Amino acid sequence: MHAVNSDRQTAAIPVRSQRKAMDWSLVLASQEIPTTISFSEETGWALLVEPRDFERAIKAIRQYHIENRHWEWRQQLPWSQVTFHWGAVPAALLFVLTYRLSSEMPFLRQAWLFDTAAVRAGEWWRLFTAILLHSDLGHLLANVTSGVLLFGLAMARFGPGCGLLAAYLAGGFGNLCGLILYGRPYTGLGASGMVMGALGLLALHSAAFWHTNPNTARDLMRGGVAGLLLFLIFGVDPKSDVIAHLGGFIGGGLLGFTLSFVPTRVLEKPKFIVANWILLLSLLAVTGWLAVWRH
């Protein structure tokens, strides 16, 4: 950390990202040190302070780091302005755990499998339990690798609990679409619909800002087109359940569009995050228990 003289009245403290600059500016504000966030293509982000406040500002920032030495789950990717939430890794490991359990306990696979005849008979929970199952190791690895990336981005945008819950609901909606649109009875399993749901969430995540910034409409169109192209690449394999994939993508898109209107300050409230985790874990527990109990 060092000073860069931007002019005669100010000293600059280089910062790696906009988010970090905002965090540090709050630290300095708490110490009553006036500061301005600056950005240029040549030097990147920086905090501008009075030269007489420079040493005090450096000490305040260093003390802040000492007091907050912990792993940050949500981190900005170093090569872009994209934020990623590492909570996606343990979330994806749940797929690995259920794959192992279903391999050792075949009855679990039968109880959780998406079966249209069973769902029509009242076993609605199969819409969700089948998301946790996978047919083989290759199927599992495909969903884990793509899921970690897309879940991490969705969780960073909408909050860890909300982003994962929305993707899970989108996966259930995808199975519901298959139930409605397929005329013949069939069975299915896998997290692909949930992964496509996360993709849909990201495709329309900035919808609420299109009227406030002329560039946002362009970015929204780019995001939507990019999401659609990625869906066409990964979601329309003839050997897979294309209807469930499409339903998950559409369901995720609708949820992403809706959630984009929720203020960031609400999404980042601890109570809101905890409430979404409770809803997600409750849905997982209730549907899993019902499937085993009724089997």
Domain at 49, CATH number: 3.30.70.1530
Same domain, 190 and 288: yes
* Cα dihedral value 37, 39, 42, 46, nearest 10: 20
- The pLDDT of residue 65 is 74
> Distances in Å between the alpha carbon of 17 and those of 28, 38, 43, 169?
16, 11, 11, 33
- The pLDDT of residue 70 is 59
Q: Is residue 273 a part of any domain in this protein?
A: yes
> 3-class DSSP state for residue 2?
coil
Same domain, 57 and 89: no
Distance of alpha carbon 236 from alpha carbon 34, whole angstroms: 55
Q: Is residue 25 a part of any domain in this protein?
A: yes
Query: What is the token pair recorded at 187?
Result: 């069975």
> What count of residues does the chain have?
295
Same domain, 55 and 165: no
How many domains would you assign to the chain? 2
Rounded to the nearest angstrom, the gap between the alpha carbon of residue 286 and the centroid of all alpha carbons in its chain is: 23
Same domain, 258 and 123: yes
Q: For all residues of the chain together, what is the average pLDDT?
A: 86
Q: Is residue 117 a part of any domain in this protein?
A: yes
Q: Taking a C-beta distance cutoff of 8 angstroms, is the pair 131, 174 a contact?
A: no
- How sure is the predictor about 2, in pLDDT bands with cuts at 50, 70 and 90? very low
Same domain, 201 and 256: yes
Of 26, 43, 70, the residue that ends a domain is: 70
**Termini Cα distance of the chain:** 62
Same domain, 141 and 259: yes
Domain housing 24: 11-70
More confident residue, 213 or 152: 152
Q: Is residue 76 a part of any domain in this protein?
A: no
Q: Is residue 96 a part of any domain in this protein?
A: yes
pLDDT in tens, 50-107: 988 898 999 888 887 776 665 566 665 554 556 889 999 998 999 999 999 999 988 9
